[in-house]
Amino acid sequence: MSHASPTYPQKRWSLVDLFPAPDGPEMRSAIEELQTRTMTFEGARARLRPDISPEELLELIHQLEVITHLSQRLHAYAGLSFAEDTQSQVAQTLLARTDQLMAQINNRLLFFSLWWKELDDENAARLMAGAGEFRYWLETMRRFKPYTLSEVEEKIINLKDVTGVHALRTLYDAITNRYTFRLKLDGSVKRLTRGEISVYFRHPDAELRARAYQELYRVFAQDGLILGQLYQAVARDWYNEQVQLRGFSSPISARNLSNDLPDHVVDTLLEICRQNASLYQRYFRLKARWLGMERLRRYDLYAPVMHTDKAYDFGEAASIVLSAFYNFDAQLADIARQVFQADHLDSQVRKGKRSGAFCWSVAPRLIPWVMVNYQGRPSDVSTLAHELGHAVHSIIAGHHSILTYHSTLPLAETASTFGEMLLVDHLLNQERGDAVRYEILFNQVDDTYATIMRQANFALFERQAHDMVQQGASVDDLAKAYLENLRFQFGETVDVSEEFRWEWVSIPHIYHTPFYVYAYAFGQLLVLSLYRQYKMTGESFKPRYLSILAAGGSESPLRILETAGIDVSRAEFWQSGFDVVREMIEQLEAIPSTLGEERPSMPVDHGTVLQR
């Protein structure tokens, strides 16, 4: 498939599909409508009786849909504006004002969910039977019944969060996204953003890799005490609300319930990841031999094994990703292309722009907004495939209500990770030079480490850190614990220097969404299994896979996965994902690593082992 026309320039996104401008007449009109519709809904409070009819309940739910749609548009405009320039006072003010508005609206609507949770089981079952696609949404609310407080308490928490933990997270973003980093390049010192300096983590020059990491954590360490105190406050807030007030058994249990996953499933996932630390230690020994080193330093984790200097301009990267999607199913490429056509992709690197990448799915029938910081690296192409995978997932699920189309976090990583695997297959089939192909294969295992083991260990650290904070641990205590966890993870295969004790304060997820990160490990191991099924069964796999995406958040993740024959409660399932990684490592071990020796061509049949 050719994507030579149209071209895909690297640019900033447009937010006009949300609102033409901040505080313009369209936004003021939307706020007014939101207030009016909320007032109307408040007037329905007296209609919430145990004997309410299914039809009357559905009428009220449809009113909530409209209110939620308006709220999401306003919130997304503020959040996306802040992400594109975290140093803008206009964006900062708009975000704070919108957070306050959302808290007020949520408080005014709170009576509905509280009534529904307190409704007797018999009437609840009667109403859910007639709720159609809203059954699971209603069922989900009732799962939180044991952890719900009184209406007054819930309102206080909503208001407190605006000037409390939400403000702390905004402050964290504002501080860390203003950082610049100094790195000596070609005889002169350059000032770089975080995205720009991260390019050098994969540079062939070992000394330059080390200096890049050292500079990154030098800057973070300067504010380490402040950032660490912000983290302590976030962790205390989470514990105070989720454990002390709501009664969850542990901090991570609150996240598990929101993901609709039993604690034992998550515990099993993290334990199997911990048990497989030796698998990646084996890989790091192999990589050290390829790099001619006795053992890797932490600086060398993502070092290229071949000096290919392969780079892709943005237009080429977009075409490659769309072609990879098209090779699986033309529908996927057509859907992903809508993000470009809608001008909803911000790919530039700018000072003040939020680091990293994300996809923001605002509402059904609104094309998602995708942010990347694209710099031409092969890893940037993978990131583009990942985020466009998220967008495809949202658009395919767009036939659902706004109340049911967002999937839970574990399944939210399915299409994104699958998209990266499609990209790897496409690149391996496209590239003819052994050097680039070897690099792709090594990058593939590097990426499974970054997505599975690294993220699982973040979650294990979070679990430990939340407990330590409650026991009065200092910021230095947390940094020491993080460094010890790193050294356990790598064993004797990787030398971890002292500056990595500050890596944890550079991870936005542990501030913004505690315990989010295990969703990446869940998603990657799940997709390894799904992709193996695809390679074994071909066309017959596609309808089952697309049905998982189309389900959105209309059903529990365990029920959705049952349709694919997957039981995530079994340790053997998670271990089977690591078995795929082990087979990938075995194939790499079979390649002669002597640089002067002729290397055999790699097999192109990736059906059993060569998977992302």
> pLDDT for 309-335, tens place per residue?
778 999 999 999 999 999 999 999 999
Residue ranges with strand state E in 429-539 = 494-495
Longest dimension (CA), the chain: 82
CA distances from 272 to 418, 499, 528, 567 (A): 22, 28, 15, 15
The whole-number pLDDT of residue 4 equals: 43
> What's the mean pLDDT when you consider all of the chain?
91
Residue 565 forms part of a structural domain: no
The whole-number pLDDT of residue 433 equals: 67
Residue 48 forms part of a structural domain: yes
Please report, rounded to a whole number, the percentage of residues in the chain having pLDDT higher than 70: 95
Q: What is the mean pLDDT of residues 20-40?
A: 96
| b/e sequence 321-347, b meaning 16+ C-beta within 10 Å | bbbbbbbbbeebbebbbebbebbbbbb
Q: What is the mean pLDDT of residues 337-355?
A: 94
Above 50 in pLDDT, residue 609?
Answer: no
- What order of strands is seen across the sheet that includes strand 369-371? 345-346, 369-371, 358-360
Secondary structure element (H or E) that encloses residue 184, with its range: strand 181-185
Angle between helices 54-84 and 121-129 (to 10 degrees): 80
CA distances from 186 to 190, 306, 309, 325 (A): 9, 22, 17, 39
* SS3 label, residue 495: strand
**Can you say whether the dihedral through the CA atoms of 602, 605, 611, 612 is positive or negative?**
positive
Above 50 in pLDDT, residue 598?
Answer: no
The whole-number pLDDT of residue 599 equals: 35
Pinpoint the alpha helices (H) of 240-297: 251-258, 263-275, 277-290
Above 90 in pLDDT, residue 372?
Answer: yes
Residue 190 phi, psi (nearest 5): -105, 145
Task: Let me know how many helices (H) and strands (E) the chain has, helices first.
Answer: 26, 7
Above 90 in pLDDT, residue 88?
Answer: yes
Above 90 in pLDDT, residue 257?
Answer: yes
Residue 324 forms part of a structural domain: no
The whole-number pLDDT of residue 432 equals: 67
Above 50 in pLDDT, residue 470?
Answer: yes
Above 80 in pLDDT, residue 2?
Answer: no
The whole-number pLDDT of residue 532 equals: 83
Neighbours of 146 (CB within 10 A): 11
Closest CA to 212 of 232, 192, 236: 192
Residue 304 phi, psi (nearest 5): -70, 140
Q: What is the mean pLDDT of residues 385-404?
A: 97
Above 70 in pLDDT, residue 608?
Answer: no
pLDDT digits (tens, 9 = 90+) for 49-73: 999 999 999 999 999 999 999 999 9
Residue 47 forms part of a structural domain: yes
Q: What is the mean pLDDT of residues 144-159?
A: 95
Peptide bond between residue 410 and the one before it cis (omega within 30 degrees of 0) = no
DSSP of 75-120: HHHHHHHHHH-TT-HHHHHHHHHHHHHHHHHHHHHHHHHHHHHHS-
Q: What's the rounded Cα separation, in Å, for the pair 447 and 439?
A: 12
Find the length of the chain.
Answer: 612
The whole-number pLDDT of residue 351 equals: 87
Band of residue 429 on the pLDDT scale cut at 50, 70, 90: confident
Q: What is the mean pLDDT of residues 599-611?
A: 28
Tokens of 292: 């001619």
| b/e sequence 562-584, b meaning 16+ C-beta within 10 Å | eebebebeeeebbebbbbbbeeb
First and final C-alpha spacing in the chain: 23
* SS3 label, residue 122: helix
pTM for the whole structure: 0.84
Above 70 in pLDDT, residue 596?
Answer: no
Residue labelled with tokens 């006072």 = 89
Rg of the chain (C-alpha set): 24
Q: What's the rounded Cα separation, in Å, for the pair 525 and 45?
A: 45
Q: What's the rounded Cα separation, in Å, for the pair 424 and 440?
A: 7
The whole-number pLDDT of residue 605 equals: 27
The whole-number pLDDT of residue 533 equals: 83
Above 50 in pLDDT, residue 83?
Answer: yes
The whole-number pLDDT of residue 6 equals: 63
Residue 600 forms part of a structural domain: no
Above 90 in pLDDT, residue 439?
Answer: no
The whole-number pLDDT of residue 46 equals: 94
Above 80 in pLDDT, residue 547?
Answer: yes
Above 80 in pLDDT, residue 395?
Answer: yes
* Number of domains making up the chain: 1
Residue 55 forms part of a structural domain: yes
- Residue 35 sits in a domain whose CATH number is 1.20.140.70
| b/e sequence 60-70, b meaning 16+ C-beta within 10 Å | ebebbbebbbb
CA distances from 455 to 225, 373, 447, 516, 574 (A): 23, 21, 11, 9, 15
Please report, rounded to a whole number, the percentage of residues in the chain having pLDDT higher than 90: 80
Above 90 in pLDDT, residue 237?
Answer: yes
CA distances from 361 to 76, 106, 141, 154, 560 (A): 9, 20, 21, 27, 20
* SS3 label, residue 126: helix
Residue 337 forms part of a structural domain: no
The whole-number pLDDT of residue 441 equals: 84
Domain that holds residue 106: 25-163
Q: What's the rounded Cα separation, in Å, for the pair 202 and 212?
A: 10
CB of 390 within 8 A of CB of 361? yes
Residue 49 forms part of a structural domain: yes
Above 60 in pLDDT, residue 607?
Answer: no
The whole-number pLDDT of residue 20 equals: 96
